[in-house]
Amino acid sequence: MRLLILDIDTLRPDHLGCYGYHRDTSPNIDRIAAEGVRFNNYYCSDAPCLPSRAAMISGRFGIHTGAIGHGGTAADMRLQGQSRGFRDRMHHMSLWTVMRRAGMYTCSISPFAERHSAYWFLAGLNEVHNETGKAGMESAEEVTPVALDWIDRRGADDNWCLHINYWDPHTDYRAPEQFGNPFANEPLPAWLTEEVVEQHQQAVGPHGAREIAMYDNSTKDAFPRQPGEARDTEGVRRVIDGYDCGIRYMDGYIGQLLDALEAKGVLNDTAIIVTSDHGENQGELGIYAEHGTADNITCRIPMIIRWPGGKAGHVDNGLHYNLDLAPTLAAMLGVDARCEWDGQSYRPTLTDGEDTGRDVLVVSQGCHVCQRSVRFGPYIYIRTYHDGYHLFPREMLFDVEEDPHEQNNLAEARPEVCAQAARMLMDWHDDMMATQIDDYTIDPMQTVMAEGGPEHCRGQLPEYCQWLEKTDRGWAVPELKRRHPQEFALQHRNPLNGQPAALQTAPDGLQFRLTQDSDPM
């Protein structure tokens, strides 16, 4: 058995031809999809990068592993504690360990573990490559030679799993200038009208149209495709074209991998998976070039599986999590895993086209905002605990079938649907907290809030408010100060312990903070 996993960072499915995109961004990925199963409603349980791969590798929700952030306590998986033996839990339940138990040699070409100091990612790997040392800033022309060399040396062998991590769709958009722009004369996505773009000029929050660089409009000479702002439709075109060029540029190198496997005579016998850690908002919720929410755009990801002898040309519309991959591969490979996974196998979908989808998904974000969302029927319900300075309302509801770009918040018009979704969220939360292991009793989302909020927001608000005043959006400053008074207290720390003045310390050592918009999770 041979398995190639193409793990493409920040790849939203609706910018691929096989998912219906009007631009020809992905001919080689489309070729794989035509020969396998394409999943239409596949989601990362926890966004973005680190939490998503933690869920995929462990087969467990972030609320169980503790890994839901990019900094602070919640950027690490929880310690196993007293039940840990000579080796920890990841030794037997990691995605890579499943491959090993099936008798496969495992190799990863990826900087991910170094980028996020997430060394649990390496559990179960025989071989790891991180030649560039660029921690996610490498491009396809740097990654692919390493992969081609590996295929040349080992591709004809049996029983291997090769994981290749591409970063080209991730900011900063990095396709070389000499690649040109194959989309220069192509229309923008139809929903991005002049009126919509004009509305986005008044939106606030990191990675808005006026501050694509996150908190301002700065640019980098090394990445000319990455604009600092999008003031009109031509500015938006630069953003979209930069992203799409990254996909198309990388797709050409994927073609080289397929050619190399074919030259070895093993392409038809190799299973291929194409997926991502998260999507990328390109105007949705007023956010550009970022993956900072728990909405349908950030959390929906591509999943394409071409399995020798499996279904070909099949489209599955069921609801699935990325944490379902480990149990699915265990079932496909005949591994009796018996792991403490939250995921469930969708093997019958791959072999027979059966519907194995879930009725409801709950997805989370704890790095740029603190949100949990419920995906069910045609809806996504988004509950916000920390708005990441975007001034999101506490509840948002979108019909993603009729309104895929989330322009019409239905929360006020459909309170009964919000109530139904909120009940689903509470039931899920109760189930998750009742099934905690290793004696943990605290929801990691509470830990993120107690430690000062999402990593990418901590301490940024005073300076960002000055930026808003400079860019004619001072109207938002009073409300941001009302919602986040503790951010201004960060400037006045207690000289005795270095803590922000607004922080208190609970008896068990867990910091907590009550805000005017506090909400139980």
- In degrees and rounded to multiples of 5, residue 233 shows phi and psi of -65, -30
SS3 content of the chain, % helix, strand, coil (to 5): 35, 15, 45
Count Cβ neighbours within 10 Å for each residue of 252-290 and write b for 16 or more, e otherwise: ebbebbbebbeebebbeebbbbbbbbbbbbbbbbbbbbb
Task: Report whether 466 contacts 194 (CB < 8 A).
Answer: no
Task: Classify strands 370-376 and 300-306 as parallel, antiparallel or unpaired.
Answer: unpaired
The owner of tokens 């986040």 is: 484
Helix (H) or strand (E) holding 375: strand 370-376
Question: Where does residue 438 rank: exposed (0-12), middle (13-18), buried (19+ CB within 10 A)?
Answer: middle
* Per-residue pLDDT at 78: 96
| pTM over the 0.75 mark | yes
The owner of tokens 């899920």 is: 428
Task: Report whether 372 contacts 387 (CB < 8 A).
Answer: no
Give the count of beta carbons closer than 10 Å to the beta carbon of residue 243.
Answer: 28
Q: Which residues contact 48 (CB under 8 A, 6 or more apart)?
A: 70, 277, 278, 291, 292, 298, 365, 367, 368
* Per-residue pLDDT at 511: 33
Alpha helices by DSSP H, 302-452:
325-333, 347-352, 415-434, 444-450
Q: Rounded distance, CA 17 to CA 33, Å?
A: 10
- Run means of pLDDT, 10 residues per run, the chain, 521 residues: 98 98 98 98 98 98 98 96 92 94 97 97 97 94 98 97 98 96 96 97 98 97 96 97 98 98 98 98 98 98 98 98 98 91 97 98 98 98 98 98 98 98 98 95 97 94 97 97 87 50 36 36 42
Task: Classify strands 395-399 and 314-321 as parallel, antiparallel or unpaired.
Answer: unpaired
Q: Rounded distance, CA 286 to CA 405, Å?
A: 10
Domains of the chain: 2-75+88-416 (3.40.720.10), 459-521 (no CATH)
* Per-residue pLDDT at 488: 84
* Per-residue pLDDT at 254: 98
Question: Where does residue 379 rank: exposed (0-12), middle (13-18), buried (19+ CB within 10 A)?
Answer: buried
- In degrees and rounded to multiples of 5, residue 382 shows phi and psi of -115, 120
Q: Rounded distance, CA 405 to CA 401, Å?
A: 9
Residue 139: DSSP 8-state: -
Handedness of CA 9, 13, 17, 22 (dihedral sign): negative
* Per-residue pLDDT at 339: 87
DSSP secondary structure, 149-195, as one string: HHHHHHTTSSSEEEEEEE-TTSSSP---GGG--TTTTSPPPTT--HH
Helices 233-263 and 140-154: crossing angle, nearest 10°? 10
